[in-house]
Amino acid sequence: MAKPKGAASANSSFLGRPVGANSEETRQRILEATMRCVAEMGYSRTTIREIAREAKMTSGSLYHYFPNKAELVKATFDEVATIAVPRLEQAAEQNVATLDKLLAVFDESVRVMRDFPLAVAFDRAIRAESPQHLHLAETSDTRFAALRNLIRDTLEQGVHDQELGSGVDVESAANAVYLVFRGLNEYAASAPPPQEYHATVAALKQLLRGQLFNYGVSRSTR
């Protein structure tokens, strides 16, 4: 006997969506569609209908997963925020030397941007016009603060292990390295040609290693 429309069961959530691997795959597809729509059209112009079309489903089906656009956009934002930072932290933990830690975090941040190519544009759109009651801009600040804290903690350990130059101020150094990471994020958002992007990444890694300049030929005392 068919179950009346809207009735809940042991195999459905409070939103009425089915439970299981297929349900999670559908949810991920919806989140990816949301990120693309908001990144390309902005928060206010993005509608449930547009997201459903991008996710190749009906608006009615989408509502089984999320009750409204605000909750959907918040879930999309949280998805990226909760995945990115732990990945960067794990990359740092898998190395010992300070420079190796920073380079590992740098490499992982590149992979995160590869996995979420629209994340920066999505973040920009959210900051520009998302409703204040969602507090998404604050969540974004928290995520980037976590990255800076990771960099600072890594450098502090480097001071303890005597791996940093004498007289290096940890907070200032953390700001400098953090700006390299943020700059790469912004650069990736401009969608440069792949070859140019990878060459830039390689040059930034040379900069972090201190290999970008030939100090034996020219040395500035500034």
Residue 55 lies in a domain: no
Q: Does residue 110 belong to any structural domain of this protein?
A: yes
Which of 91, 82, 139, 90 has its CA nearest to residue 116? 82
Whether 121 is covered by a domain: the verdict is: yes
Q: Give the percent of the chain with pLDDT over 90.
A: 52
In which band, very low, low, confident or very high, does the pLDDT at 169 lie, cut at 50, 70 and 90?
A: very high
> What tens digit of pLDDT does each residue of 81-132 get?
788 889 999 999 999 999 999 999 999 999 988 888 888 888 888 878 766 7
Residue 85 lies in a domain: yes
127 assigned to some structural domain: yes
CA of 136: how far to CAs of 27, 99, 163, in Å?
Answer: 20, 32, 37
Sorting pLDDT into bands at 50, 70 and 90, what band is 6?
very low
**137 vs 15: CA distance, rounded Å:** 27
Check which CATH number belongs to the domain holding 136 and give it.
1.10.357.10
Residues 134-145 have pLDDT tens digits of: 677 676 777 788
pLDDT at 4 over 50: no
How far is it, in rounded angstroms, from Cα 174 to Cα 196?
A: 26
Instruction: Give the tokens for residue 50.
Output: 């547009």
Residue 148 structure tokens: 């800076």
Q: Which domain holds residue 124?
A: 73-209
Q: Is residue 214 part of a domain?
A: no
Position 151 in a domain = yes
Give tens-digit pLDDT for 39-80: 999 988 999 999 999 999 999 999 999 999 988 988 998 888
Q: What is the 3-state secondary structure (H, E, C) of 38-72?
A: HHHHCCCCCCHHHHHHHCCCCHHHHCCCCCCHHHH
Burial class (CB in 10 A: 0-12, 13-18, 19+), 34: buried
Torsion sign over Cα 38, 43, 46, 47: positive
| Of the candidates 114, 77, 108, the residue with the CA atom closest to the CA atom of residue 188 | 114
Number of domains the chain contains: 1
Is 30 a member of any domain? no
d(CA 111, CA 83): 12
pLDDT of residue 22: 82
The whole-angstrom separation of Cα 28 and Cα 10 is 22
The two tokens of residue 37 are: 């729509």
Judge residue 24's burial from the number of C-beta atoms within 10 Å of its C-beta, 0-12 exposed, 13-18 middle, 19 or more buried. Answer: exposed
pLDDT number for residue 27? 93
Least confident of 15-24, 47-56, 151-160, 211-220: 15-24
